[in-house]
Structure 1
Amino acid sequence: MTLDVVEICAGAGGQALGLEEAGFEHALAVELDDHACNTLRENRPSWKVARGDVAHSDVWKPADYHGVALLAGGVPCPPFTIAGKQLGATDERDLFAWAVELAEVVKPRALLLENVRGLSMPRFAGYRQHVLDRLAGLGYVPHWHLLQASDFSVPQLRPRFVLVALQAEDAAYFRWPDAEGEPPTVGETLGDAMAAEGWEGAADWALKANRIAPTIVGGSKKHGGADLGPTRAKRAWAELGVDALGIADSPPHPGDQFKVGPKLTVEMVSQLQGWQPGSWTFTGRKTARYRQVGNAFPPPVAAAVGGSIRRALEHRGQAAEPVPSEHDPIYRALRTSGSYLSQPQIQRALGIPLDTSEFERRISLLSRDFDVHVREDRGTTLYRLGEFKAFTGQDWHERHELFLKNRAKIS
């Protein structure tokens, strides 16, 4: 059974390779970065790769891919990352809501979108609820799940928040993949690579690097060159015997001595992301290659999720009634009503008590991604949920101007 996939924001191919391993064939991969596009073409010359702003109609026509088995993507993370400002719907790089809207045009049998753990935080409860409700309205059964890459033999801490949505007739067969056991350590993964140029300290180094790595941070074009993350991450790397202040051009050589330990090469980092040695070529100069690797969705995780989706589409296993999930009941109460509600009215709709400070905190979070209209009526504060601030395909949205203004810094 041939299952075709369209992948948006494909990057250097981490998700693409995993989905290929799961049995999907790429009908199209769309990517903004020149180097990443070159990497995709270098490794899979037969794939159709479209370069440019994925939301621009000149780059690709979503309607041309109506009915594909899977629409997948790793849309930009900065709008949701805990280390950033968490601007969400008001960040010009946010494409998550837009990608969800693609389901109405493309009508894939399944949708797969992955992002950082920050999207799972309370800050984005309303955003997530909007996504759930929108997909349900389009006839899909959506599932959110926080997956740990280390559960799938990837030797690093790399939590990813994953959305899978399937049409109703397939959703009953979907199960999140089971963990695969303990991952290898950094030393077990990279011991051979560290010894490749004859460095005498490789064996001792591998024994010291006896844990999995901290989350690899690819960074963006807004910031400097390649290194392995912020201060806390650098301390964790140092405990593993790795100098995180930059990326090496080659493995260490005989006689090399280090105060902290050797630096990793791009190829070593790719192994920590789940690529097999020598299996994938990354194009561009060192920083460009490192960013492609560091920002990737680990292929083993993509393969595991892709395999679960494939089994659901083939109706393998025992069918079970999907369990609906709710992320923001205040959003749901306001959206369902469509009119102004007071705090007591909202709480009655929720069926749970909330003190005033908690209620106001949740309203404040909601207002960051939605227009929340507030008015007073005879001494009572009333609330009504207005428009979603995110870009969902509007021609007039300020995202277009901001995107063009910051195009050189977006990755």
Structure 2
Amino acid sequence: MSPDKLDTLECERHDADRLYNEALTAFDAALFHPIAPAAASLAVDSTPPPPPSGWRARGLRSVRQWLLPWIERQHAFNARTADAIDALISRDRERAAAFGGFQSALIVFLQRINAFIDTKDKLLSAIAERRLDEHDRALQALLKDTLPELRTQIAVLDRAVAMLKRRIADPLADPAGKKATSRSQAETSTTDPRGGSGDDYKYVGFEDQFRGSDEGVAAKLDAYLPIFAGASDVVDLGCGRGEFLAALEAAGVRARGVDLNDGMVAVARERGLDVTRNDALDYVAALSDASIGGVIATQVIEHMDPSYLLRLLDALSRTLRPQAPIVLETINPACWYAFFSSYLRDLTHVRPVHPETLQYLLRASGFERVEIRYRAPVPEHAQLQMLHMPKEMLVSADPLAEAIRRGVHVLNGNTDRLNELMFGPMDYAVVGYRS
């Protein structure tokens, strides 16, 4: 409920109070009381005296002297009776008029009291609604501030509990905090917190929150399935939770995964996937020549030092079969939006790799038909918007309109260039084949 609406309702309530009081005053004034009837005159209604005795001898004069006073009194009585009837009629008319006024005042009063009650009800409802809105906004703000934190804490605790349960169930298993024994592990353990620490479960929770659900990640990786059609012995380096391994298995492609993070390995194994806990370079270096039918590493190479990446590519060139595919997906640092959000968000990232650099490294390592495939475009609504001119301005011959058209053309060209630099594809994959 907005403050303006509350002010409006308050004004309506004041008007209703005023009209109600006026109607109540008019209603009180319209009330009338019975009028006392006029007192009767006993003298007029008195019985005339008896006629005088005697004979007609006294004549008409005697009769007139006797009858005339009585007739005069009767005339006076009749006049008083007529006046009383006129007074009664006048009073009845006054009463009828007063009753009509009373009825009108009563109707107005009832109308005003209904409006009075209605405005009171509206104002109270508006105040209650406003208070509910304030409480709801406060609750929403509280939930907005606390829910993400609670979700993160719960996810981390769930992963920690799962890891502790696994360690209790298998106390002889290789502990997560075991020191690296190989050269590659020694090099990566200081730069890649994803593996070899007691906090593995935290990175699993990080993946859950920022990379997305299993279903979401699997949907993004489905585009790589046709590359491995008909292949076998595919290796997923840094397989994580095993989303792509599950997709390969569903497509009938035999595959196995490697990851250095105990939490990730445990999650993948719980899904029934063939996953080994090991360093990527150590795992590949131990394989026989031409023993791999394909390799994929998604969002992994940005966690590697350049020297480590070069040795890994050399090892893959030796162990991959001829014409076996290789897919390396990573964040596109040429997209400023991806670099300043996705790349910098993850503390385990070591170095971004430019698309053309990775393409060159694969070619230099013995791979052919190496191409760059850009993925994950930034939505148009998140990019810089172009200026659009009215049709009248586009066809106008006015010099000012022509100058504006040139300015808008230059501005839109710069906007398009900035969109290419800042909001290009957020990810890319370099796809090649062993020569």
Structure with the greater alpha carbon radius of gyration:
2
Greater strand share, 1 or 2?
Answer: 1
Give me the TM-score of the superposition, normalised by structure 1: 0.30
Give me the TM-score of the superposition, normalised by structure 2: 0.28
Greater helix share, 1 or 2?
Answer: 2
